[in-house]
């Protein structure tokens, strides 16, 4: 299966997705002082060519793109965004691919919950509405590149890539060989056409990503276990409350403090702490992001 022409074609489309989205991610990152990590040699920040991050269970996962704050070629920064690209030709495989993306990224995002990173999925081919909604329901922003736009992009240079399960392997092999031997000019034509056909969706994806990465704190809720909620509009006000609230712990036997930080784009970061000092430490971390 790994050597089948359909598998190779899937790799080609996956690489194509990464190639067309990377310039947009890089432009945004450069403008805002962030770092985009992608497959390839980076520097001392990691070894090898793969972009590998550890999840909350200690397992490693290879990712397509990670946008970092404070990252450089030689130093890994704080994760602001995890983005995966994937291709599926048939609807019967789309749900499994959605679950595969979730299974890889969600445990990593949970491991970095205090950063509340943006989760992006760039998917191409044929995906059901249900598989897309499934990813969106757990926090992913999805950029869907329909199968027809891929066909039209290759047709721009006279290559027909409309295949199905009845297509003979020899026909598929010839097509893949034709794609692999493309000139740089024709390859660029395909990329430009694919971007043009999906420009509106790309813009919407980038806008949502920018809203997540440039979010600002709007409210901080401090909720002691005994149920009274105190609302603040700045980290300093919330910390001042905690600094003078030591008497409540002693007098009322406070068991924990829940802190909820709400952002301008609707994101939320929360945590439960046994002491005011730990809650303050959490808020300092959130403020520094």
HSE (CB half, 13 Å, CA atoms) of 146?
Answer: 10
- Burial degree of 260 (CB within 10 A; 0-12, 13-18, 19+): middle
Question: Taking CA 59 as the corner, what is the angle to CA 55 and CA 64, rounded to the nearest 5 degrees?
Answer: 65
Residue 222 has a pLDDT of 92
Residue 45 pLDDT exceeds 80: yes
Q: What is the mean pLDDT of residues 106-123?
A: 96
The tokens describing 240, both together, are 């001042």
Interval 83-96: pLDDT, tens = 999 998 887 778 89
123 strand-pairing partners: 86, 144
Query: In 3-state terms, what secondary structure has residue 181?
Result: coil
What are the φ and ψ backbone dihedral angles of 59, each rounded to 5 degrees?
Answer: -90, 145
| Residue count of the chain | 289
Q: Closest by alpha carbon to 220, among 262, 190, 252, 183?
A: 262
The tokens describing 183, both together, are 């000139």
73, 44 Cβ separation under 8 angstroms = yes
Q: Which of 66-70, 73-77, 229-233, 234-238 has the lowest mean pLDDT?
A: 229-233
The tokens describing 175, both together, are 């097509």
Cα Rg of the chain, angstroms = 23
Q: What is the DSSP letter of 114?
A: G
C-alpha 124/C-alpha 127 separation (Å) is 8
C-alpha 121/C-alpha 142 separation (Å) is 5
DSSP string, 128-158: -HHHHHHHHHTTEEEEEEEHHHHHHHHHTTT
Query: In 3-state terms, what secondary structure has residue 254?
Result: coil
Q: What is the mean pLDDT of residues 228-254?
A: 73
Residue 1 pLDDT exceeds 60: no
Residue 148 pLDDT exceeds 50: yes
Residue 115 pLDDT exceeds 90: yes
96, 125 Cβ separation under 8 angstroms = no
Q: In what order do the strands lie in the sheet with 34-38?
A: 34-38, 65-69, 78-88, 118-125, 140-146
Residue 228 has a pLDDT of 64
Residue 252 has a pLDDT of 55
Separation in Å, CA 57 to CA 61, 135, 188, 279: 11, 21, 41, 24
> Distance from first CA to last CA of the chain, Å, rounded?
44
Q: Closest by alpha carbon to 221, among 234, 203, 205, 240?
A: 234
Chain centroid, CA 171 distance in Å: 36
């Amino acid at each position: 299966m790994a050597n089948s022409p359909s598998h190779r074609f899937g790799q080609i489309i996956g690489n194509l997705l990464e190639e067309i989205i990377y310039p947009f991610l890089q432009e945004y990152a450069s403008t805002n002082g962030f770092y985009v990590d992608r497959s390839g040699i980076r520097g001392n920040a990691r070894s090898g060519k793969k972009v590998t991050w550890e999840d909350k269970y200690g397992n490693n996962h290879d990712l397509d793109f990670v946008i970092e704050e404070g990252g450089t070629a030689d130093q890994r920064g704080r994760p602001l965004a995890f983005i995966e690209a994937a291709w599926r030709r048939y609807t019967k495989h789309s749900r499994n691919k959605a679950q595969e993306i979730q299974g890889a990224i969600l445990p990593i995002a949970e491991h970095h919950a205090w950063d509340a990173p943006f989760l992006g999925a760039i998917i191409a081919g044929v995906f059901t509405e249900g598989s897309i909604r499934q990813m969106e329901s757990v926090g992913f922003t999805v950029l869907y590149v329909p199968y027809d736009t891929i066909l039209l992009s290759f047709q721009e240079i006279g290559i027909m890539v409309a295949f199905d399960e009845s297509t003979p392997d020899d026909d598929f092999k010839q097509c893949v060989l034709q794609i692999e031997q493309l000139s740089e000019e024709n390859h660029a034509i395909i990329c430009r056409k694919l971007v043009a056909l999906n420009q509106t969706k790309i813009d919407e994806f980038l806008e949502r990503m920018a809203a997540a990465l440039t979010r600002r704190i709007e409210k901080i809720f401090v909720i002691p276990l005994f149920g009274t909620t105190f609302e603040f509009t700045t980290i300093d006000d919330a910390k001042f409350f905690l600094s003078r609230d030591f008497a409540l712990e002693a007098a009322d036997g406070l068991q924990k403090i829940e802190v909820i930080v709400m952002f301008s784009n609707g994101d939320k970061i929360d945590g439960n702490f046994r002491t005011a000092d730990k809650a303050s430490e959490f808020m300092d971390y959130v403020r520094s992001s």
